[in-house]
Amino acid sequence: MKQQPNYDCIIIGAGIAGLGAALTMQDAGLKVCVLEASDKVGGRMATEHKNGYIIDTGVTLFGNEYKNMNAVIDRFGIGQHKVPVNFAYGLKEPKQTIKFRAKKFEDIFLRRDFKLSTKVATARMGLKVLANGSRLKHGQSPKCTDLDDMTVEEYMKKINGDELMDRVLTPGLASVIGGNMEKSSRLIIMQTFYNVFIRGAYAMDEGVNMIPAKIAAQLNVELKCGIDKVTYNGGGVTIAANNGKSYTAKTAVIAIPGNRVTNICNQLPQAIAATLNNTRYGKMTNMHIAVDKVIPEKYTFMGASKAFDATYEIEMERNRCANLCPQGKDMISVFWRDTDNKKMSAKDEAALTTEADNAMDTCLPGIKEQTSFRHSVKWEDGIAHFPVGRLTEMARLRETMKTWELPLQLCGDYLDGISSEGALQTGIEAGNNIINYLKKQ
């Protein structure tokens, strides 16, 4: 078998983290190659096109202050495709729908049906987030590990925020953070609150995948190239692909979910391997439903209270970004999280259709009779989970990787938090670490 050319670095995984690592190294003059198991780049920054609809099936929003993502968008001249998202969340309760808007704390403060203690808890949480400000930007988790000290549940009890938890945070954000809101680190909820609700967000009017696609067009990327094994020694790295090819390089970056790294590389130090194997993801199940009219509701997102036993969040796609839907039509995207009692990821298409109908009956009655097609997607590794201490542990790993003597780097969202910006930041860090490693050789 003909030996493949040597590279300075081979990157395994063409999600935004891997692409960010590859671009960083290529910019520094290194010869790189990206190997991707699937037939497209972007990972969970995925977009599909069907019947005139542009369907974002994973990531749907970017924070206005995503420094690295904004830099990529500017570099490739696609800033005109950014569309500010008017964040308006409708929470369906048995007798009413409550509206929450970004930066509008009065939506809680002025409501008579919220307890005074809840309003005080909201103020305390808001002031805590504002006081920490830019430290909470996604991609910068190592700067705020002092806030990785208690669960959301413990924090809510500390500030008397039980009603805030039950009526607002759990129904509104549990799906966004991949489930298990109560046991997640309070740092995760503070980062989300700061980056989306306070600083605002935008969508891409041709779908989120246009960003990784633009990066990949500048790189050497091989698709449908899954990896069986990665080995390394003093002479570099050898990669065995499941298509029968073998690749050699001076270094490698593994940009796949943390819990899958040791499946292909069993040489990592035992402590590092154990840390990676403790990575947990919430499974994400979506159904995107085409609607034959423009839905009159002005919410961008909707959810339902605990009274409905809801485990979903709804996105109103025309309100998120009008260009995603054909003229005169709309789309509803239902994103479910798995819970101990309800495993949505295990349900078949018929069961998901029934669940989607129930969600529409609850939040948007009368709409299910006006739908034309449905498109479902399941993500096995949907959203990384961060219990207390996990982000601190990841910060230590990121610091260790800056100076370790291995010809290998790791990157991905599991190292920073629940954002594409965090994934991209870890990719850039991995690229810079490889550059520095090769300078010493």
Exposure b/e, 398-409, CB count within 10 A at least 16 = b: beebeeeebbbb
What pLDDT is recorded for position 123?
94
What pTM did the predictor assign?
0.95
Instruction: Give the HSE-up count for residue 265: Cα atoms under 13 Å, Cβ half-sphere.
Output: 32
Q: Please say if the pLDDT value at position 299 is more than 70.
A: yes
What pLDDT is recorded for position 433?
98
What pLDDT is recorded for position 205?
97
- 50-65: per-residue pLDDT in tens? 999 999 999 999 999 9
Q: Please say if the pLDDT value at position 156 is more than 80.
A: yes
Q: Please say if the pLDDT value at position 47 is more than 90.
A: yes
% of the chain beyond a pLDDT of 70: 99
What pLDDT is recorded for position 112?
92
Per residue, the 3-state secondary structure of the chain, as one string, reads CCCCCCEEEEEECCEHHHHHHHHHHHHCCCCEEEECCCCCCECCCCEEEECCEEEECCCCCEECCCHHHHHHHHHCCCHHHEEECCCEEEEEECCEEEEEECCCCHHHHCCCCCCHHHHHHHHHHHHHHHHHHHHHCCCCHHHHHHHCCCEHHHHHHHCCCHHHHHHHHHHHHCCCCCCCCCCEEHHHHHHHHHHHHHCCEEEECCCCCHHHHHHHCCCCEECCCCEEEEEEECCEEEEEECCCCEEEEEEEEECCCHHHHHHHCCCCCHHHHHHHHCCCEEEEEEEEEEECCCCCCCCCEEEECHHHCCCEEEEEHHHHCHHHCCCCCEEEEEEEECCCCCCHHHCCHHHHHHHHHHHHHHHCCCCHHHEEEEEEEEEEEEEECCECCHHHHHHHHHHHHCCCCCCEEECCHHHCCCCHHHHHHHHHHHHHHHHHHHHHC
Average pLDDT over residues 217-236: 95
Q: How far apart are CA 97 and CA 333, in angstroms?
A: 19
Q: Please say if the pLDDT value at position 2 is more than 80.
A: no
In sequence order, what are the beta bridge partners of 331?
290
Residue (of 100, 49, 87) closest to 320 by Cα position: 87
- 160-212: per-residue pLDDT in tens? 999 999 998 888 888 888 878 889 999 999 999 899 888 999 999 999 999 99
Residue (of 374, 363, 245) closest to 314 by Cα position: 363
Per-residue confidence band for 155, with pLDDT thresholds at 50, 70 and 90: very high
Average pLDDT over residues 405-411: 96
Residue (of 257, 217, 207) closest to 62 by Cα position: 207
% of the chain beyond a pLDDT of 90: 85
Q: Please say if the pLDDT value at position 4 is more than 70.
A: no
**Residue 149, number of CB atoms within 10 A of its CB:** 14
Per-residue confidence band for 1, with pLDDT thresholds at 50, 70 and 90: very low
What pLDDT is recorded for position 430?
98
What pLDDT is recorded for position 97?
93
Q: Please say if the pLDDT value at position 3 is more than 80.
A: no
- 259-272: per-residue pLDDT in tens? 999 999 999 999 99
What pLDDT is recorded for position 201?
94
Per-residue confidence band for 150, with pLDDT thresholds at 50, 70 and 90: very high
Output the average pLDDT for the chain: 94
- 67-108: per-residue pLDDT in tens? 999 999 999 999 999 999 988 999 999 999 999 988 888 889
- 308-360: per-residue pLDDT in tens? 988 999 999 999 999 999 999 999 999 999 988 889 999 999 999 999 999 99
What pLDDT is recorded for position 87?
85
What pLDDT is recorded for position 180?
81
What pLDDT is recorded for position 86?
87
Residue 248, both tokens: 């050699």
